[in-house]
Amino acid sequence: MIRSSYYRYVTVEEEPFPMAALADRIATIFSKGHVNYIEEQNIISILNGKIIVNEDGVRGTGPSADRVKKIYDQFNIDLDKD
């Protein structure tokens, strides 16, 4: 919330990235206990922080990170279709 006499209103120019939906999709591959969506930071932590996903992409290495990158890329393609 922004409190100021200077601002009359604040608009959202585009929809926020649906990180919770992406976390649910990733959890179909990894078990739910290994996928943690941290709403305050708007990131997804996978395998206790070995793989981190944010709006910009995937950080991590190895076969699991490659799998998450494929899921992330497909998720973005699906978003563009809508």
Domain-wise residue ranges, the chain:
19-81
What's this model's pTM, rounded to 2 decimal places?
A: 0.79
Asked if residue 3 has pLDDT above 70, the reply is: no
Write down the architecture of domain 19-81 according to CATH: 2-Layer Sandwich (3.30)
Distance of CA 3 to the CA centre of its chain: 28
Asked if residue 5 has pLDDT above 70, the reply is: no
Query: What pLDDT, on the 0 to 100 scale, is given for residue 12?
Result: 66
Q: Match 């990131």 to its residue by tokens.
A: 43
Mean pLDDT, range 66-78, rounded to an integer = 96
Give per-residue burial for 50-78: e unless 16+ CB within 10 Å, then b: ebbbeeeebebeeebbebbbebbeebeee
Distance between CA atoms of residues 37 and 23, nearest Å: 6
Tens-digit pLDDT profile for residues 7-59: 666 676 777 889 999 999 999 998 878 999 999 999 999 999 999 999 999 99
Q: Look up residue 32 and give its amino acid.
A: K
Contact 51, 59 (CB under 8 A): yes
- The helix or strand, by DSSP H or E, that contains position 20, with its residue range, turns out to be helix 19-27
